[in-house]
Structure 1
């Protein structure tokens, strides 16, 4: 990183080739720098995708409840947003997904896996069915994928057979790099080339590129805490279900659970006991983030 700081009087590499190569090495699956693009957080990555493949006169579709920024990014790029729905258990079946594609014929499809705010992951058959039926681009948002349970697939496995597939990632979650603002995607090199037509000049600073490369190089140390969080996540799921709560399956670093009443009242009562969790706007449901064993103890005791 010292070299990058020494050269701050010069513009950064506008193509971020070294960073993209490092990210490709981290992702594996035979990917190279030409398959990867990076920007200021996954929000900018997805905005660039909509600028490239959507816009006025085109549509984007997502299955809610899901990431709240997807419709906002669509609005900001002049893209008409189509809000389809997930199943009552927050999952999605191939037939239900394909039925929505047949009805709306979107230019861009967003799939969130693991889903935000529910934590549920999609089976590869769902992603495969969407890829076979969709006319346009399919973006799989995998912001929380490092927290997925063993056996939960990643859409990266499908990239070689599907040139219209984009897998979006971020370093904000598992890497603890939210302040560094680094999101990226993996796709066919033609998709990367197309997105470069809409990027702003020098959109990634030299400091951001250097810090992100350092974080990727130290991934073993930075991602060690992921396993600790997964243990606490599974502990929360198991304990709540044993107590009779309805809990969404989670492959993320948080757990969504049904409180059996007004979630605002339960949220306030937990806060009164010194525990702050999230009300994500789903009536009757609250979301708790998995943290340290002591934090899990405090949450479970306060909920009792």
Structure 2
């Protein structure tokens, strides 16, 4: 199994804490490690470090990825960082990364690959890894995604409607845009919906097959052998998400439910909730932690950035 960690996001929703030159995946927001480092270390628990790859845009970002991962994994190689030639959306980025794994790393087309964002919070690591392993073992020739069990009528996430239940997963019936509060409450009450986490599991054979049907221009770029030809074709591709390009159209998408305290840290409110929750966990474990220390630290960070 292999992993592709997407590191090219700009993290604009956490401005001014997260900025263009230092997006949130490179920041240490709730632990001593950055979000990127936390993501890598979780993956390293279920696969060798050399099987984990990183996709990003720009040499500066690529160097930041390398330096941060080097701090937690001394054997990281620069060949594990895939440099996107254009800053496009997730569909072209993932296609380029899969091409790289096939041509440079010579992976088997039937081998499972997980694609995941670099900047999400996972509160229950053990439950998360259990869900990921289950998905990677059972997706086979489908396109798997981890759907988060909703904890409230959240309007900041996209939703996926669950279809037929099969052994260990659900068929994806419909992808839904971010709803208003009324619709979000209906989704929650029905029990038929999960949050769209942006995490995908597939093998290269299935992924390329779905690309050929629903995003043929991206597919044509992904199968080019000559690197110069690929770069020329890649920069002309539409900037489109994997959801729009493939997932919303494919009948092969399946959902593995995840319930592991997930958050995409898309706002200061969500970050405050994470810090407050972690603080409460720490209080239970050791009563000596000063109250509101982490929340005060966040407030100080915001003030410092705003004064710059």
Q: Do the structures match in fold with TM over 0.5?
A: no
Larger relative contact order (CA 8 Å, sep ≥ 6): 2
Give the alignment's TM-score, normalised by structure 2. Answer: 0.27
Return the structure number with greater strand share. Answer: 2
TM-score (norm 1): 0.27
